[in-house]
Amino acid sequence: MPVNFYGGLDFGTSGVRITIINSHKEIVYTNSVFYKESFNNPNSWINACEKLLEGLPTVVKRKLDKLAISGTSGTLTACTLEGETIGEAIPYNHACNENNFFMESLTSEEDHLRTPYSSLAKALTLIDKYGTNILLRHQSDWITGWFLKDWTYGEEGNNIKLGWDLIKESWPKSYLNTSWQKCLPQILKSGKIIGQVHLDLAKSFNLNKKLVLISGSTDSNAGLVAAGLRKEDGLTVLGTTIVVKKIIDHPIKEKGITTHRVSGDWICGGASNAGCGILSKFFSDLEIKELSRQINTSKGTTLNLLPLNNRGERFPINNPNLEPILGPRPVSDSHYLHALFEGLANIELKGWQKLHQLTGSLPKKIITVGGGAKNPQWRKIREKIINIPIVTCKKTTSFGTALIAINAKQ
């Protein structure tokens, strides 16, 4: 029986990770690369991707059968009709307030789009800047197009914040007569076969010339697939930002809330602008590890921090002008880290309270993925504040993306 491999690429805020699995869904290879340039520069995504492709073992390159890509939800870029990016991408956590009145006229029945953090707000900003003879593509969709040298398509989950309706499976009617409707992608469901890798690219990296590209997902949805989430579970992604998700019976449309469809289940959730990103502004990874060991998790601090990465919040409060509270900073670094952990846990708690308010239930346990999931002291602080059992999933988001690839259907 021939050996085939299946790959998942996950593009995060700081870098890219690749995971390769075999037909038994066992991990055979994984690697990651940090971006050398700004996250907002799409060339940095491609440079990191190229480095990972070059580093793949020869046997994997030759037998890589399917590849899916996940990326940060809500990071939007403009490109030419030939796929060349124009300027910088607008990242997921950037608020665009320039077209609020026009945006409201387009979204009379779509409250979840009426936020400056929506991809629609970003799209209108890019159209103002570059005109309508462009393509608007989210991060993972644009990178998938780079592999195919065809930027026609977009995956449904990545395009919800742009206005794609999962129930009606269409763009809003208000988009139909706009000059920029042609800028939008042709939508595919996650896990669908798109086409074969472009021959020139396959030759450049010695990849299997029959490698098939699969429509991927958002990074948090890929994390959900990796975690094997069940109906009674909740998912928290502790990456640069905090994302909380749970399975629901019916889709929800609410400001700051995104509803997805993953493996046949409806998933609702929200993403804060706070997360591990704020920790890296004050401490190195090694310092966080060492200082965490000094924390007495049975005691709390008297500090009440709001550790947003920048001004503005998307969820659980939708306020683009909300200011971080990062002081006063105590003399003890471990005490300050403890207070930051508490602040982040309080944001996560409010996220779960918001989902409880909307869905009527809380998870019986929370599965955690992402870099922050590895920290045992943070987990204990979260359990104490949220009062729900928390377990750590060691599977990466790129593993979830690889599962999307292996399970792909025509």
Q: What is the DSSP string of 271-302?
A: E-SBSHHHHHHH--HHHHHHHHHT--TTS--S
pLDDT of residue 263: 75
Q: How far is CA 272 from the centre of its chain?
A: 11
pLDDT of residue 318: 85
CA distance 80 to 84: 5
Q: What is the end-to-end Cα distance of the chain in Å, rounded?
A: 23
Residue 1 predicted with pLDDT over 70: no
Residue 389 predicted with pLDDT over 90: yes
- Among candidates 14, 35, 61, 71, which has minimal Cα distance to 401? 71
pLDDT of residue 370: 85
Which distant-in-sequence residues (6+ apart) come within 8 Å of 77 by Cβ?
A: 42, 85, 86, 88, 89, 90, 126, 136, 137, 138, 139, 142
pLDDT of residue 320: 87
Q: Give just the sign of the alpha carbon dihedral 195, 193, 216, 138.
A: positive
Each residue's pLDDT tens digit, 131-143? 999 999 999 999 9
- Binned at pLDDT 50, 70 and 90, residue 93 comes out as confident
Each residue's pLDDT tens digit, 266-289? 999 999 999 998 999 999 999 999
- Binned at pLDDT 50, 70 and 90, residue 81 comes out as very high
Q: How far is CA 319 from the centre of its chain?
A: 20
pLDDT of residue 255: 76
Angle at 42 between CA 41 and CA 47, to 5 degrees: 105
Residue 114 predicted with pLDDT over 90: no
Which distant-in-sequence residues (6+ apart) come within 8 Å of 19 by Cβ?
A: 7, 8, 10, 27, 29, 30, 396, 398, 399, 401, 402
Helix-helix angle 42-55:139-148, to 10 degrees: 50
Q: Give just the sign of the alpha carbon dihedral 230, 69, 40, 30.
A: positive
CA distance 396 to 410: 26
**Burial, 327: exposed, middle or buried (Cβ in 10 Å; 0-12, 13-18, 19+)?**
exposed
Partners of residue 220 on adjacent β-strands = none
CA distance 255 to 158: 17
Each residue's pLDDT tens digit, 172-189? 998 988 999 999 999 999
Q: In what order do the strands lie in the sheet with 27-34?
A: 27-34, 15-22, 5-11, 64-71, 212-218, 193-196
DSSP code of residue 85 = B
Helix-helix angle 219-227:397-406, to 10 degrees: 80
Residue with tokens 């094997």: 228
Across the range 227-248, mean pLDDT stands at 92
Pairing of strands 15-22, 27-34: antiparallel
- Among candidates 228, 161, 270, which has minimal Cα distance to 369? 228
- Binned at pLDDT 50, 70 and 90, residue 254 comes out as confident
CA distance 242 to 344: 8
Q: Domain 229-393 - what CATH class?
A: alpha beta
Residues in the chain: 410
pLDDT of residue 25: 96
- Binned at pLDDT 50, 70 and 90, residue 410 comes out as low
pLDDT of residue 2: 65
Each residue's pLDDT tens digit, 333-367? 999 999 999 999 999 999 999 999 999 999 999 99
CA 73 to each of CA 47, 101, 109, 202, 341: distance values in angstroms, whole numbers, following the listed order: 20, 24, 22, 27, 24
Residue 156 contacts residue 261 (beta carbons within 8 Å): yes
Residue 153 predicted with pLDDT over 60: yes
Q: According to the CATH classification, is domain 5-219+399-406 in 3.30.420.40?
A: yes
CA distance 277 to 213: 31
Same fold, 5-219+399-406 and 229-393: yes
Q: What is the mean pLDDT of the chain?
A: 93
Each residue's pLDDT tens digit, 206-235? 999 999 999 999 998 998 899 999 999 999
HEC string for 191-212: CEEEEECCHHHHHHCCCCCCCE
- Among candidates 288, 314, 254, which has minimal Cα distance to 95? 314
pLDDT of residue 97: 87
Residue 79 contacts residue 227 (beta carbons within 8 Å): no
Residue 316 contacts residue 351 (beta carbons within 8 Å): yes
List the chain domain ranges: 5-219+399-406, 229-393
